Structure 1
Amino acid sequence: MSSLSTFDLFNVKGRVAVVTGGSSGIGLMISKGLVTNGAKVYLLALPSDPIAEIVQDLNILGRDTGGSAEGFPCDLSCKDSINTLARKITSKERSLDMLISNAGIRRDPPQACNVLTAPLDELQASMWSIDQKDWEDTFRVNTTAHYFLSVAFLPLLAAAADQPTSDGGKGQDEGRGVIVITSSCASMHNATNVDLTSYATSKAATDHLVKLLAAKYNRFYVRVVGINPGFVPSNMNPVGAAGNIFSSLFDKVPAKRAGASQDIAGTVLYLVSKAGSYVDGVSLCVDGGRILLANGQE
């Protein structure tokens, strides 16, 4: 009989992960959760991010559990950079238990307005003010990068899923060989008080990408799942900071709070471990119930 202890179900000790956008916000929460529980994390971030300092902190965090971290700078908007990164990690690892494809950007119109109340001319001016390249950059990072990352790391992920286990099974039975893609609950809403159109559209595309990739990789049982976080502290959403454009919406979330590290890390630990090994091709909304709000009523 299979063990139902939490240690066996959610155990990620000794597993290998790649986490993109791992130096801040949701990516850092995920990295901390994995390292704290004994995983080895390859943290990817922009060259301008404090990668060395973050990695040092993560290695201290993992001392008692055997968790560790190593950092790499990478421009995820560039296919060649992704390929170079995958080659580096392939030279170090024979398999990859999990790819946490988390990095994302948001580009708002420079001429802001309240889209729910602005007069027609003001709304048009605001929407027209966004640069076309901002749309292109948003999709390049928020959607296209997930695709190329999954393709680049597919052989390592398939090797993890096919890896023999001590009980005669395969790695896939323990949840190994999984891609977790970070989307957003913004993909599920029709309106907010600000114009998130390019961001929300890219995230809606990402939600469908989860299904497309899962269908392509199912023969190797490389699982592809998504998470759709709500209000979670990050550079993109400075919860508690003065002037936060979302501050008026926090109290409308049924949970009456922003998301915390345990909410994100706990969800990911479920999806990448034996506990979530039967979950594939779906996205989990982690937003404190915000999705329950009627569209357009925010």
Structure 2
Amino acid sequence: MASLAALDLFNVQGRVAVVTGGSSGIGLMISKGLVQNGAKVYIAALPSDPIADVVTELNHMGRDAGGTAEGFICDVSSKESISGLVQHISQKEQSLDILISNAGIRRDPPQACNVLTANLEELQKSMWSIEEKDWEDTFRVNSTAHYFLSVAFLPLLAAAAEKQTGNGGKGRDEGKGVIIITSSCASMHNVTNVDLTSYATSKAATDHLVKLLAAKYNRFYVRVVGMNPGFVPSNMNPVGTEGNIFSSLFDKVPAKRAGASEDMAGTILYLVSKAGAYVDGVSLCVDGGRILVANGQE
């Protein structure tokens, strides 16, 4: 008889994961959740990020549960850099249970305005001030990188999904061989005081990419699932910092708070474990109900 105990359903002990953008923000929250539950996590980040310090912190946090961490430099906007990351991981692992494709950027117009109150001239001037390269860079990191990461890691992910388990099943039955792509609730609504057009558009593309990839990988049951967070503390969204451009919107979240590490880690533990092994090709909004208010369903 199958066990319905939480320790069995949400077990990620010994699983191998790659987390891009894993040294800060949501990526770090996810990495902490995985190592504290016994996973082996490879974090990938830019050379300017505090990779070594984060790896030390993660290894300390994972000590009791057997979780470990290693760090790699990777610029996800570059196919060459992605190939280098995959080559490094392939030399160490025969399969990859979890790919968290999380790294992302936001490029706001240099000439900002409150898009909810600006007059026509102010709005046009603000929207016109964003550079073409800002749009290109945003899509390269927030959409295109997920595609190339998933393709590059596909053989290792498929190997994890196909691997025989001790009970006669396969890894896929326990949730192994899964890609989680971080999107945003900004892809699902357009009500904000800041011009997030390039960011939100790239995230909407990412939501559709989840469906496209899941359809392509379904024969191998390499699952592809999107996670769409709301207001969560990060370098991109310094919740609690004086002058935060989103501060006037926090009280409109039905949960009356920003997202926390427990919210991000808990969602991931569900999606990448046996508990979420039947979830594929969908995007899960984790925003405290903000999407309901933004869409006028108060």
TM-score (ref. length: structure 1): 0.99
- C-alpha distance in 2 between matches for 1:118 and 1:245: 15
Residue 190 of structure 1 deviates from its aligned partner by: 1.7
Aligned counterpart, 2:277: 277
Kindly report which structure 2 residues correspond to 1:71-150, keeping only aligned pairs within 5 A, or say none: 71-150=71-150
* Partner Cα separation in structure 1 for residue 204 and residue 282 of structure 2: 13
| In structure 2, C-alpha distance between the alignment counterparts of 1:295 and 1:267, rounded to whole Å | 23
Does the Cα contact within 8 Å between 1:223 and 1:279 map onto a contact in 2? yes
Which residue does 1:189 correspond to in 2?
189
Superposition CA RMSD, Å: 1.1
Alignment partner, residue 253 of structure 2: 253
For residues 33 and 191 of structure 1, the distance between their equivalents in structure 2, rounded to whole angstroms, comes to 31
For residue 293 of structure 1, give the secondary structure of its aligned residue in structure 2: helix
SS at structure 2 position matched to 1:224: strand
| Displacement of 1:191 | 2.5
Normalized against structure 2, the TM-score is what?
Answer: 0.99
2-side partners of 1:77 and 1:169: how far apart?
37
TM-superposed CA distance for 1:84, in Å, is 1.1
Cα deviation per residue 1:126-179 (whole Å; 9 max; x = unaligned)? 000001000000000000000000000000000000000001000000000000
Paired residues, what number?
A: 298
Runs of 4+ in 1 over 6 A off after TM superposition: none
Aligned letter for 1:56?
A: T
8 A Cα contact 2:21 2:28, kept in partner:
yes
Name the counterpart of 2:215.
215
1:63 is matched by which residue type in structure 2? Answer: R
Query: Is 2:59–2:67's contact at 8 Å kept on the other side of the alignment?
Result: yes
> Quick one: which amino acid aligns to residue 90 of structure 1?
S
Amino acid at match of 1:237: N
Is it true that 1:240 corresponds to 2:227 in the alignment? no
How big is the shift at 1:119? 1.0
**Residue 177 of structure 2 corresponds to residue 170 of structure 1:** no
**Residues 50-108 of structure 1, C-alpha deviations (whole Å, 9 max, x = no match):** 10000000000011011000000111111111011101101110000000000000000
Q: Percent identity?
A: 83
- Give the superposition deviation at 1:295: 3.5
Secondary structure of residue in 2 paired with 1:251:
helix
For the 8 Å contact 1:190–1:296, the answer to whether it is kept is no
- Out of 190-199 and 24-33, give the one that drifted further: 190-199
Per-residue deviation, 1:296: 7.7
Q: Where do residues 152-167 of structure 1 align in structure 2 (5 Å cutoff)?
A: 152-167=152-167
In structure 2, C-alpha distance between the alignment counterparts of 1:205 and 1:274, rounded to whole Å = 28
Shift, 1:21, TM fit: 0.2
2:291 is matched with: 291
Which residue type is aligned with residue 281 of structure 1?
Answer: G
* Separation of aligned partners in 2, 1:293 and 1:240: 21
Helix, strand or coil at the partner of 2:191: coil
What secondary structure sits across from 2:202 in the alignment? helix
For 2:129, the aligned partner's letter is S
Aligned to 1:46: 46
CA distances 1:194-227 after superposition (whole Å, capped 9, x unpaired): 1000000000000000000000000000000000
Verify the 8 A CA contact 1:191 1:296 in the aligned structure 2. no
Cα deviation 1:210-253 (Å, max 9, x = unaligned): 00000000000000000000000000000000000000011110
Distance 2:190 2:273 in 1: 33
* Whole-Å separation in 1 of the counterparts to 2:173 and 2:10: 13
